Amino acid sequence: MEVDEIGFYNRILDYNNILYLCHRNADPDAVGSAYTLAQAIGGDVGIVDGCNRVAKMLINELDIEIVNNPDPSDYDFTVVVDTSTQVQLNDIILGKYAVVDHHSTCSLKNNAEFYLHRNVSSTAEIVFNILECMQAPLLRKSGISLIAGIITDTGNFKYATPQSFRVLAQIIEKCGVEYGEVIDILASTPQDISMRIATLKAAMRANIHRIDNIIIATSTISSFGGSAAGVLTHIGADVSFVGSMKDNITRISGRARRSAIDLGVNMGKIMEEVSEYYNGTGGGHDGAAGLDVVGVDTQDVLDKCVDVTLNILN
């Protein structure tokens, strides 16, 4: 059942001992949203299969207590945050659960007791509005984690909407955190040397496709596909796809610049279409998305991504 912010809050009050569960490779939006809900309502923050490097840093900096690979059956209720598919939770078995999410497609909501889904740029914005409805105070650490979630999920505001800025301003007013403090925390994230090498290799191996003034770049890499795809769009590509293969699973990360999005490119939809073609899973946002498929050659999947993109641009 779909609920609004007030409905979410009213329903969640029926449960004690709640787990707020983040997707695998949790990002600051997932961790910040789960942490803020846990602080305001009570419960634990759970992480499936680790988190990304910025989220790790945030957890250390704010001293956030997390439960690694939790078992939902140890809890009365689970709130899955910032997650749209079961695949993002690996093989964890959910009991009764609710969903708070902002991805354009969200299949997890089908079996949820209730769900709060908004087409906004971060889950952090939804969580802030839940706290507003509860008239709950926003503590400093929660404020920092939500701001970090908004910054990272909007790609440093590249994909921000007026609402993202509005909520950001409200958070700053409410918890008294300086915006610069959060920037300093995010900037102190160390850049892993293996990531820098992988990114350079992705640029070196890039294949370039041009249609009119739009450039699509594809590449392969063994890890750090997401950041490599981001770098390719920074250094000239309008659209980028970076593939990696591990344990017979091909993973593609895609990024698009505003120039391509304005021409109708929606990375979330492209990833969904390509993943369905190979019976995999995929999705995400207009400008950033990903997919996983099993047992298909990485280059074939990259070619398919380019084909689908060219069809949109033609």
Residues at the contact surface with Mn ion, assessed by CB under 5 A? 29, 82, 123, 153
d(CA 243, CA 226): 9
CB-nearer residue toward Mn ion: 182 or 306: 182
Long-range CB contacts (< 8 A, 24+ apart) of 75-78? Answer: 75/17, 75/18, 75/19, 75/43, 75/44, 76/15, 76/16, 76/17, 76/18, 77/12, 77/15, 77/17, 77/18, 77/19, 77/113, 78/18, 78/19, 78/20, 78/21, 78/46
- Supply φ then ψ for residue 165, to 5 degrees: -65, -40
C-beta of 146: minimal distance to Mn ion in Å?
A: 11
Please identify, using beta-carbon distances, which residue of 47 and 217 lies nearer to Mn ion: 47
Q: Identity (one letter) of the amino acid at 85?
A: T
To Mn ion, the closest distance from the beta carbon of 229 in angstroms equals 17
CB of 102 to Mn ion, least distance (A): 6
Question: Among residues 123 and 164, whose Cβ is nearest to Mn ion?
Answer: 123
Closer CB to Mn ion, residue 28 or residue 143?
A: 28
Comparison of 7 and 155: residue with beta carbon closer to Mn ion:
155
Greatest Cα pair distance in the chain: 57
Which bin fits 148, alpha (ψ -120 to 50), beta or left (φ > 0)?
alpha
Report which residue's Cβ sits closest to Mn ion: 29
Q: How far is the CB of 106 from Mn ion (least distance, A)?
A: 11
Nearer to Mn ion, 238 or 292 (CB): 292
Nearest approach in angstroms of CB 101 to Mn ion is 8
We find the least distance from the C-beta atom of residue 29 to Mn ion, in angstroms, to be 3
Residues 169, 218: Cα–Cα separation, whole Å: 37
